[in-house]
Amino acid sequence: MTPKPFAPEDEVALREALKRCSPSTFEAAVQFRKTANPEHVPAVVIGVIERFVEPDLRMKLKDADDDLRLIEDLGIDSLTMMEIVILVEDVLQMTINNDELRNLRTVGDVKTFIDCKIRGLPLPKPTKFIPIEHVAAVMPIQPPFLFLNEASVSSASANGKYKITGQEFFLQGHFKDNPVMPASIMLEALGQLAVLYLLEGAPTEPGKVISPQTIFFTGCEGVRAHRICKPGDILTLSIKPKRMKMPLATFEGSIRVGQEKAVIAEEITLTFGIVEAAEAPVPISAIGHAPGSTGTASAATTPPLRVAINA
């Protein structure tokens, strides 16, 4: 992509548009406008979001992971989202349609979205949030051996959380009078997140789905544990697909507690099988609407940002 000429009066207008953003945001925007290099886009987008977030919540953005949610974590409503979009459009000289906005729920969604637009790539599938009831409903693994409380899945990654309650049965013996989450279980939790990715996020041919009954662990490489995790800790898990070729899918995974690194796995490999969609279990959107179901699907899912105004 060749940049349009960037005249001095453009710089003046850009400075005015970004006058309430950090100097680094302005610098990144200038660099983008001069070079059209998409590397500068995340700094501009985060800088614009920061400017619209209430000051006491801005700290969250400082070391934000891409999973930070716009509504729940940053207090951004749909009107503020429009303010963000219009400023980003103005600064990056691009146009965003209403339809494209509806699925932007996390900071990562916004960054990926803008990046795809700039590079002219097709837009990724939106991140799907999966609350605890749904995790159990779609997973072949069940309590008491399920180590995901909630998860979000996109075509590029999956993120999840698990709180160590202290009630886990194995903590009674691991260790004596000193409950510590076993590293093997933490690796299991990452594997479970990879299973969820295969079921909810992995791209498949039309009419085909990955069957939960076909997924099994095959191997892992480069596993290191960095931190002892104990009851009360909230594990933030993330996996990213590295390679996918029937019947193997390889992921990299990591677990953090707050900002502290807990576990790294360079490679986790699962085997999986494809079946016709008709044989597949009930799709997630139908769960909770079925007769006799006790699910709370509609209440628990994260609302997408809607540009609906009570006018």
54 binds other proteins (CB under 8 A): yes
The stretch near other proteins (CB under 8 A) out of 82-90, 99-107, 154-162, 283-291 is: 82-90
Distance, in Å, from the CA atom of 272 to the CA atom of 246, rounded to the nearest integer, reads 7
Q: Which of 71, 82, 141, 264 binds other proteins (CB under 8 A)?
A: 82
The stretch near other proteins (CB under 8 A) out of 35-43, 76-84, 196-204, 254-262 is: 76-84
State CA 117 to chain mean position distance.
Answer: 19
Apex 82 CA angle, 81 and 88, nearest 5: 90
Q: Which of 7, 278, 308, 311 binds other proteins (CB under 8 A)?
A: 311
The stretch near other proteins (CB under 8 A) out of 25-33, 39-47, 80-88, 227-235 is: 80-88
H-helix segments, the chain: 8-17, 23-35, 41-52, 59-62, 78-92, 98-101, 107-119, 132-138, 183-200, 297-300
58 or 240, CB closer to other proteins? 58
| One-letter identity of residue 182 | P
Q: Which of 27, 90, 100, 267 binds other proteins (CB under 8 A)?
A: 90
79 binds other proteins (CB under 8 A): yes
In our burial notation (b when 16+ CB lie closer than 10 A, e otherwise), range 65-104 reads ebbbbbbebbebebebbbebbebbeebbeeebeeeebebb
Q: How many residues bind other proteins, per CB under 8 A?
A: 12
User: Smallest distance, Å, CB 78 to other proteins?
Assistant: 9
Structure tokens at 290: 């079925």
Radius of gyration in angstroms for the set of CA atoms belonging to the chain, rounded to a whole number: 22
The stretch near other proteins (CB under 8 A) out of 3-11, 87-95, 186-194, 238-246 is: 87-95
13 binds other proteins (CB under 8 A): no
20 binds other proteins (CB under 8 A): yes
89 binds other proteins (CB under 8 A): yes
User: Smallest distance, Å, CB 100 to other proteins?
Assistant: 12
User: Smallest distance, Å, CB 97 to other proteins?
Assistant: 9
86 binds other proteins (CB under 8 A): yes
User: Smallest distance, Å, CB 271 to other proteins?
Assistant: 48
List binders of other proteins among 172-211 (CB under 8 A): none
217 phi and psi, to 5 degrees? Answer: -75, 140
Pairing label, strands 216-225, 234-245: unpaired
User: Smallest distance, Å, CB 254 to other proteins?
Assistant: 35
Picking from 217, 229, 137, 215, the residue whose alpha carbon sits closest to that of residue 181 is 229
With 0-12 / 13-18 / 19 or more C-beta atoms within 10 angstroms meaning exposed / middle / buried, residue 155 is middle
95 binds other proteins (CB under 8 A): yes
Binding site for other proteins (CB under 8 A): 20, 52, 54, 79-80, 82-83, 86, 89-90, 95, 311
